[in-house]
Amino acid sequence: MTTSQTPAVLGFTTGQGADEPRIYVACLAAYNGGRLHGRWISAACGEDHIWTETRTMLAESPEPDAEEWAVHDFENFEGANLSEYASFETVCALAEFIAERGRLGAKVHRHFGDDLSQARAAFDDYAGEFQSLGDFAATLHDEGGTEIPAALEYYIDWQAMGRDMELNGDVFTIETGFDQLHVFWSR
């Protein structure tokens, strides 16, 4: 972007933060006519705002009587997916969820096949962040209060226990970085 171009020239909605989730809503009449006409719209400003911006964009279309639209692009959703024909209600709900849960929320959303209700429910069974499944298994044991004699402690394979919990479907994991393993119960 050159200094002479303002965000409005490029089709941005004014008042957006650089990291705010936003969608590019395209006019389908113009698109089908071989022209690109659309607008970037903040997904954090609410459904009414998106509808207002979409109606304005359609009214300014180079094609007469334009009334159909689609979400042709999106950004700052931390890797979560949006359908081309996602409702604005869905767009806003996902933007709110990502604002609340961040990158981990986006990964959980993808884990559940882009089902937002399942992703939300998963956080009710969030066990925490650990360096490994072995650390999770050891922590779970320590919180249980059972003491293991020091002479036997080194014979316990916490990694295998954690791995078995995941293989048995007791837990699922989401990795967000090196030694950042988030564990969820699969209840």
Domains of the chain: 22-114 (no CATH), 124-185 (1.10.10)
Q: Return the percentage of the chain with pLDDT > 70, whole number.
A: 90
Model confidence pLDDT, tens digit, residues 18-73? 689 999 999 999 999 999 999 999 999 999 999 999 999 999 999 999 999 999 99
Burial class (CB in 10 A: 0-12, 13-18, 19+), 143: exposed
Looking at residue 17, what is its pLDDT?
61
Q: HSE-up of 96 (CA within 13 Å, CB side)?
A: 12
By the 8 A CB rule, do 114 and 81 touch? yes
pLDDT at 14 over 50: no
| Secondary structure class of 183 (helix, strand, coil) | strand
Looking at residue 16, what is its pLDDT?
53
**Helices 47-59/88-111 angle, 10° precision:** 120
Whole-prediction pTM: 0.81
Looking at residue 9, what is its pLDDT?
35
Q: What are phi and psi of 14, to 5 degrees?
A: -70, 155
Looking at residue 77, what is its pLDDT?
96
Looking at residue 8, what is its pLDDT?
37
Looking at residue 148, what is its pLDDT?
87
Model confidence pLDDT, tens digit, residues 64-103? 999 999 999 999 999 999 999 999 999 999 999 999 999 9
- Could you tell me the CA-to-CA distances from 127 to 34, 113, 137, 173 in Å, in that order? 51, 21, 11, 10
Q: Which has more pLDDT, 160 or 19?
A: 160
Looking at residue 159, what is its pLDDT?
95
